[in-house]
Amino acid sequence: MSKSNMPFGNQGWDYSRTPDMSNKVVVITGGNSGIGFEAAKVLVGKGAQVTIFCRNEQKAKEAVAEIAKHTNDKGSIDYILMDLARLDSVRSAADLFIANHEKLDVLLNNAGLMMIPTKTLTEDGFETQFGVNHLGHFLFAQLLYPLVEKAQGRIIAVSSIAHMWGLKRIKFEDLNFDHGYSSTASYGQSKLANMLFVHELQRRLKTADSAVNAYVVHPGYADTNLQRTGPGGIEKWMMVVFGRFFSHPPSHGAKSLVLAAADKEAQPVTFYGPVKRGGLGGPVGIFPIAPHGQDMDAAAKLWTVSEELTGAKWAI
């Protein structure tokens, strides 16, 4: 791996680089488990005021109780219920947060679904992986953007090396996979959408001369519930077996999230995450983005389509 891919040294980025986050307000979707949970623990330990957004209230309460053990005297942790598969839930959750906060320093769009074996639709009629992983977050980010602008903050999307899989383009003509559903292809499309979203968002922010910046990261092959609860059949079996040899704990997978959220040297639209074994593991540095993940024409089109589907109208 070249030095340009390892800007933090051969050992990669580590939590020791996390600066003081006192008075920083942070939102993490899916912060009740996995890498979002681990990132929340680190950030509250550095003084951040963190709110996690998740679907299940019991799991949210349990996560908050555990995360609270890691807070310092300035950090805090709270939760708001939100279902990314329902746009009305996204709007209600965003409204509740806005009503109680004046700014937002870090919006970390982390929650997601992975490789659902059978095609399903959200309540709004979107293929579930695309609806949750991209469209729900697209609307959520638009609603909270004014608070991020006030803080001159950061918007982060958790994408994946899966943006490189199979599909080399967004299926604009068949976003719902009405013809030939594939759990891996639909997941790859949703992660490609996360990547293109960050590219178009950063382009718009730069054009508007905004102090806000957009970041994109991946966790590598982190051993989380995502692998165990998403795939089905032989795919689930293969991931369990594969994970025994190649996975790493969520605490390592969360390093790229904290890097993008907190490190002063983090650069916009730079794909931070594990850099070895094709991005599955190893030290955290800069991983290459697939050419189709940098297609600005596709990114602009996706933005327009996403606004139409969600009703989100960005002010940039």
Q: Which residues are catalytic?
A: 187
Residue type, 213: N
Q: Which one, of 33, 59, 37, 34, lies nearest residue 50 by Cα?
A: 37
Name the DSSP letter for residue 171.
-
**Please, which residues bridge with residue 50 across strands?**
26, 77
Residue 262, H or E segment: helix 255-262
Asked if 200 and 303 count as a contact pair (C-beta separation under 8 A), the reply is yes
Helix ranges (H only) for 101-172 are: 128-130, 137-151
3-state secondary structure of 315: coil
In angstroms, the Cα distances linking 57 to 51, 81, 83, 109 are: 13, 7, 11, 19
- Given a contact cutoff of 8 angstroms between Cβ atoms, the answer to whether 150 and 175 are in contact is no
CB 197 within 8 A of CB 304: no
The runs of H, that is alpha helices, within 152-182 are none
